């Protein structure tokens, strides 16, 4: 059954709430590690509202977040926290996402998170890799099965 147009914002919001709620539960109520990071809020917006865009596709979500957190952690390890490391890290992350064709706007904030929170390489597995895989799998399940949307429109 197709979702009526006037209910799509509610259904999209509820879908995003479910995904973030699951990640928050896994972070706060289990010993499985950190599954959630700030930029995931914007990621679920894109996945459930702008799901047909290139930036909402699984490749872009996964690799956009991965590339940008790597950049942020490298800048944190090499340069530390400063006004120039904050600016340069975001610029480098955006440049790499464009060149690698894995543009995902929420991921552009990951270098800021890495520098402000003084993150190291262990943050890559939890929450970045595990969190993005969870978002991708849940968004496919919700978009395809529940909302009857064609998602993803493209894998690679």
| Amino acid 8: pLDDT | 93
- The DSSP secondary-structure symbol of 4 reads P
Q: Is the pTM of this model over 0.85?
A: yes
Q: Is residue 67 within 8 Å of 100, Cβ to Cβ?
A: yes
| Amino acid 62: pLDDT | 98
Pick from 119, 123, 122: which is nearest to 76 by CA? 119
| Amino acid 1: pLDDT | 66
| Amino acid 2: pLDDT | 79
Residue partners of 96: CB distance under 8 A and separation at least 6: 67, 68, 71
| Amino acid 156: pLDDT | 79
Domain edges within the chain:
5-146
- The DSSP secondary-structure symbol of 126 reads I
Output the tens digit of pLDDT for each of the chain's 156 residues.
678 989 999 999 999 999 999 999 999 999 988 999 999 999 999 999 999 999 999 999 999 999 999 999 999 999 999 999 999 999 999 999 999 999 999 999 999 999 999 999 999 999 999 999 999 999 999 999 989 999 999 887
């Amino acid at each position: 059954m197709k979702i009526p147009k006037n209910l799509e914002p509610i259904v999209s919001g509820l879908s995003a709430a479910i995904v973030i709620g699951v990640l928050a539960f896994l972070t706060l109520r289990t010993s499985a590690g950190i599954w959630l990071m700030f930029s995931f809020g914007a990621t679920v917006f894109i996945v459930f509202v702008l799901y047909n865009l290139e930036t909402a596709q699984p490749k872009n979500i996964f690799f956009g977040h991965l590339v940008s957190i790597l950049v942020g952690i490298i800048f944190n390890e090499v340069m530390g926290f400063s006004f120039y490391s904050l600016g340069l890290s975001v610029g480098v992350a955006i440049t790499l996402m464009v060149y690698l064709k894995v543009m995902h706007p929420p991921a552009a904030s990951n270098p800021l998170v890495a520098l402000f929170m003084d993150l190291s390489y262990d943050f890559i597995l939890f929450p970045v890799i595990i969190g993005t895989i969870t978002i991708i799998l849940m968004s496919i399940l919700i978009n395809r099965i529940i909302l009857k949307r064609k998602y993803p429109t493209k894998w690679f």
